């Protein structure tokens, strides 16, 4: 196993940056965002008719889906940046047999 995960000699690691802060605050941001987006639906149940409730519920659900997809996109981007700042590993050698003339 150790021969598979050999670190590249002379690689440079980078300090964690904004991506770590984003990943740490993402759960709290997600919960607060979902609650804030669902607030109009809760208020509509107290103040409006059932037809208006349904329309607002549809809008709230679609906004929730959009919000959660954006949060997922942000999490994937931060994770990719975090992984790319890690150590470099030696890749397998691949002999390239390519020339202008075919081998005889």
Residue 43 belongs to a domain: yes
CA–CA distance, 34 with 63 (Å, rounded to integer): 9
Q: Say if 9 falls within a structural domain.
A: no
Residue 92 falls within a domain, yes or no? no
In the chain, the number of structural domains is 1
**53 within a domain of the structure (yes/no):** yes
Domain assignment of residue 69, given as a range:
18-84
| pTM score | 0.71
Any idea what the Cα angle at residue 81 is, between residues 76 and 82, rounded to 5°? 95
**Residue 7 falls inside a structural domain:** no
- Least Cα distance to 40 among 55, 54, 58, 60 occurs for 60
| Residue pLDDT, tens place only, 32-88 | 999 999 999 999 988 888 888 999 999 999 999 999 999 999 999 999 988 888 777
The reply to whether 93 falls in a domain is no
């Amino acid at each position: 196993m150790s021969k598979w995960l050999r670190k590249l000699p002379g690689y440079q690691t980078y300090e964690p940056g904004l991506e770590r802060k984003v990943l740490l605050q993402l759960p709290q941001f997600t919960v607060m965002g979902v609650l804030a987006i669902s607030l109009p639906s809760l208020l509509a149940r107290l103040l409006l008719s059932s037809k208006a409730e349904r329309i607002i519920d549809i809008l709230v659900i679609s906004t929730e889906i959009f919000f959660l997809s954006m949060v997922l996109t942000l999490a994937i981007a931060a994770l990719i940046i975090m992984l790319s700042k890690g150590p470099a590993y030696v890749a397998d050698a691949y002999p390239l047999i390519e020339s202008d003339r075919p081998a005889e």
